[in-house]
Structure 1
Amino acid sequence: MKTERITFPNAQGLRLAARLELPEDGPPLAYALFAHCFTCSKDLTAAVHITRALSSRGIAVLRFDFTGLGESEGEFAATTFSSEVSDLVAAARFLEQEYQSPRLLIGHSLGGAAVLAAAAEIPSITAIATIAAPAKPGHLRLLLGEAAKGIEQSGQATVNFGGGDFIIRKSLLDDLETHNPLAALRRLKVALLVMHSPRDRIVGIDNATAIYQAAFHPKSFISLDPADHLLSDGRDSRYAGEMIAAWAGRYLELPEPLAPSHRSPEEAGTGVTARTEAGGFRTDLFVKGFNLVADEPLEEGGGNRGPSPYDYLLAALGACTGMTVQMYARRKGWPLEEAVVRLSQNKIHAEDCRDCDEKDRRIDRFERELELRGELDETQRQRLLEIAGHCPVHRTLTGEVQVVTTLRPDSPI
């Protein structure tokens, strides 16, 4: 995780709190802006998952709290849809001045309508992704139900929205009706990705249809079934982030983020980083520019989204074994066409091991089967079998190993 806490001023001079998600293993390939849902915050779990999925693919993302929400200054009751659009433009200008102009806008729910409205004022934008967005901001009035009548009559009312109490004024309702993002969308020359779940009970999927039909090509649609409106299941928000990153690469004309061998040494990174978030065992791995995923199987409480840590350990041993025997055969000029290594791992009692000194403990046993393909004689085959036991990973596993762990100073979410 590589996150910077920052603040920037909006048009009224209020400080808006933000977090900039940066790639783990090199400079950003592009910058993006993320707009959260109505009354939500930049730290909503879905927002974190989506922006980090993008940063893992080399796209830096700024997610911030709109005026009066989260850690940002200002009075939420005084905000309108127009002020949210203004905050987005201010965020874009901040990125332009301090980092790099954003080229991708992402908006969730009402934030999706906001990015459609703001895009015309951010000339650097070449792609927009909406998630569960209403086609018109006025859809919020329907969600307020009977409370909308009270707001119209009294000028304002306290409404429970998303589990919290918020003061909503008539000025917000009036402002919602003045905006038509679909009309603005028809004038934009950007790529559009519309993402929506047919099971969304807050903003119906007919809104996605309206947005899609209003846009010119290039445009795409991805179903988020079975997700709910807030993408409460981490698997849904991660999927959304991964799909946006894959789609955006085409329209942002990025260097190939999945081909680290073509990166500069600075872009490729120099080490290995593992990041495991709450809610499961899924772990994002950054290995010298390569993006990998580890997980545990379902029966162990994981999501089975990738190999387990022991699987990676076996893979390391297998890869090292194959490389070592091929290197030796090449040096000798032997006709080894292919080396295939099959591995497994289990626990055995120490008493089952003839070479173990301690008899009342369990040890890890790695079984390795080596298949050598090519016109090799028996002497060559036996020598390569012997060489397999000298691969560096084998020696590491069977030698004395020290693991030194230090605690890094507390970092932001």
Structure 2
Amino acid sequence: MRGTEEVQRIELTSVDGVRLEAVVDRTAVTPALGSVLLVHGITVDLDEGGQMFVRLAQRLTSAGFNVLRFSFRGHGASGGTQEGVTIAGECLDLQAAVNYAREQFPRQALSIVAASFGAVSTALSLPWLAAGLHRLVLWNPVLDLRHTFLEPQLAWGVENFGPEQQNGLQDKGFLLVDGDFRLGRVLFGEFARYSPRGEFLASVIPALIVHGDRDSAVSYEIAAETARTRQATTLHTVVGSDHGFDSREREDEAIGTTVDWLAEQCAVIH
């Protein structure tokens, strides 16, 4: 049954008091197939670098899902500062968003779509998330922090995190990512301490990885090998795509693949 879809701007509060901007997109389909939390990458916000998450949310609500998306601290209109962003802090923000989704949609299977750096806090939260998480989708996910940031092997990482930029980190307390996002010392130090890939491999939640095979920022090879190694994991390759899906056609492919997979996976519990 269909009614009128609803978009509502709200505010969440992380457990340490940081205010987070968020949007709820409610489906007009009853009963709903489930709920989906969208987790964005670094330097962007709840729209995910333009309108990708907006269009994904629209497709998901049309398919029968309720959707929550939010901006991490230091991003978009959320509280905090760019230099104060940490992986630990993003894990707290994710926890606040998950708690809200579960409160608002208590009898609906919850899935997560995490893009790029959003995969870090999501993967690290899987030990406590897993029992209440139905499905997981990762878009060009950062699974290996060392090879993405500390010892970058791809063009984007070399440009933003090479020796000259790291010297600036020591001098100024931050380095500039893509020319305008101030990544601080504490976050950079965390890159050596966390293993999102290890947590992802240790989990059993069924997952879909969508990744461009010409990604110049985050390793496609690491994602593909992870998908081959891990049980219950499907890899969809967006052929010829750079990071973030670099054309409207490739964005539509990632969105369509994600919505179709989630709808198929959630249909089995209805």
TM-score, structure 2 length as denominator? Answer: 0.85
Q: Which residue of 2 aligns with 1:117?
A: 124
Q: Secondary structure at the match of 1:75?
A: coil
Measured after TM superposition, the shift of residue 158 of structure 1 is 4.2
Partner of 2:200: 185
* Cα deviation code 1:348-402 (max 9, x no counterpart): xxxxxxxxxxxxxxxxxxxxxxxxxxxxxxxxxxxxxxxxxxxxxxxxxxxxxxx
One-letter identity of the residue aligned with 1:108: A
Over 3 Å counting, the alpha-carbon distance change for 1:34 and 1:204 in structure 2 is: same
CA distance in 2, matches of 1:22, 1:132: 26
Measured at CA, do residues 65 and 147 of structure 1 come closer, stay the same or move farther in structure 2, by a change above 3 Å? farther
The match for 2:149 among 140, 147, 151 is 140
Summarize deviations over 1:54-103 as a string: whole Å, max 9, x none: 22211122111000110111112111122212211111011112333662
- After superposition, give the CA deviation of every residue in 1:134-183 in whole Å (9 maximum; x if it has no partner): 2213313432223542255326134142xx51222211111122111122
Give how far 1:27 is off: 4.9
- The correspondence of residues 80-119 of structure 1 with structure 2, limited to 5 A, is 80-100=86-106, 103-119=110-126
**Residue 44 of structure 2 aligns with which residue?**
40
Residues 136 and 181, structure 1, Cα contact 8 Å, conserved in 2: yes
Is 1:19 paired with 2:23? yes
Whether the 8 Å CA contact 2:120–2:196 is kept in 1: the answer is yes
State the distance in 2 between where 1:180 and 1:86 align: 17
- Taking the aligned partners of 1:62 and 1:232, their CA distance within structure 2 comes to 24
The answer to whether residue 166 in structure 2 is matched with residue 149 in structure 1 is: yes
Flag the 1:24–1:89 CA change in 2: closer, same or farther, 3 A. same
Q: Indicate whether 1:242 and 2:248 are aligned.
A: no
> What whole-Å deviation, never above 9, does each CA across 1:320-345 have from its counterpart, x for those lacking one?
xxxxxxxxxxxxxxxxxxxxxxxxxx
- Say whether 1:2 aligns with 2:14: no
Superposed, 1:271-290 pairs within 5 Å as: none
What is the total number of aligned residue pairs between the two structures? 253
Amino acid at match of 1:120: P
Q: Which AA in structure 1 matches 2:202? A: R
SS in structure 1 at match of 2:180: strand
Larger Rg: 1
Superposition deviation, residue 7 in structure 1: 1.1
Instruction: Please report how far the alpha carbon of residue 28 of structure 1 lies from its aligned counterpart in structure 2 after TM superposition.
Output: 2.7
Match of 1:62 in 2: 68
Check conservation: 2:35, 2:109, Cα contact below 8 A. yes
In terms of mean alpha carbon deviation, does 37-46 or 230-239 score higher?
230-239
Query: What amino acid does structure 2 have at the position aligned with 1:65?
Result: S
Q: Which of 134, 150, 154 does residue 126 from structure 1 map onto?
A: 134
Verify the 8 A CA contact 2:102 2:110 in the aligned structure 1.
Answer: no
Give CA deviations for 1:238-274 in whole Å, capped at 9, x if unaligned. Answer: 3212211221234334567xxxxxxxxxxxxxxxxxx
The whole-number CA distance in structure 2 between the counterparts of 1:77 and 1:214 is 35
Q: 1:75 aligns with which of 74, 81, 85?
A: 81
**Percent identity over paired residues:** 20
Q: TM-score, normalised by structure 1?
A: 0.57
Matching of residues 10-409 of structure 1 within 5 Å: 10-43=14-47, 44-100=50-106, 103-122=110-129, 123-138=131-146, 139-141=148-150, 142=152, 143=157, 144-154=161-171, 156-161=173-178, 165-216=180-231, 218-254=232-268
Tell me, what secondary structure is at the counterpart of 2:52?
helix
Higher relative contact order (CA 8 A, sep 6+): 2
Work out the CA distance in 2 between the residues paired with 1:89 and 1:193: 21
Equivalent position amino acid for 2:40 in 1? H
Once the two structures are TM-superposed, the CA of residue 235 in structure 1 deviates from its matched residue by: 2.7
How many angstroms apart in 1 are the aligned matches of 2:74 and 2:60?
Answer: 27
Contact 1:14-1:73 at 8 Å conserved across structures: yes
CA distance 1:198–1:232, shift in 2 (3 Å): closer
Q: Aligned letter for 1:134? A: V
SS of equivalent residue, structure 1 residue 76: coil
User: 1:25: Cα distance to partner?
Assistant: 4.0
Paired AA for residue 127 in structure 2: A
* More divergent stretch after superposition (146-155 vs 187-196): 146-155
- How far did 1:186 drift? 2.6
Q: C-alpha root-mean-square deviation of aligned residues, in Å? A: 2.2
Mapped to 2, the partners of 1:58 and 1:243 lie a distance apart of 16
Q: 1:39 to 1:147 in 2, by over 3 A?
A: farther
Q: Is the 8 A contact 1:191 1:251 kept in 2?
A: no
Q: C-alpha separation between the residues in 2 aligned to 1:156 and 1:97?
A: 39
Q: Which runs of 5+ in 1 are unaligned?
A: 257-413
Rounded Cα–Cα distance in structure 2 between residues aligned with 1:128 and 1:250: 13
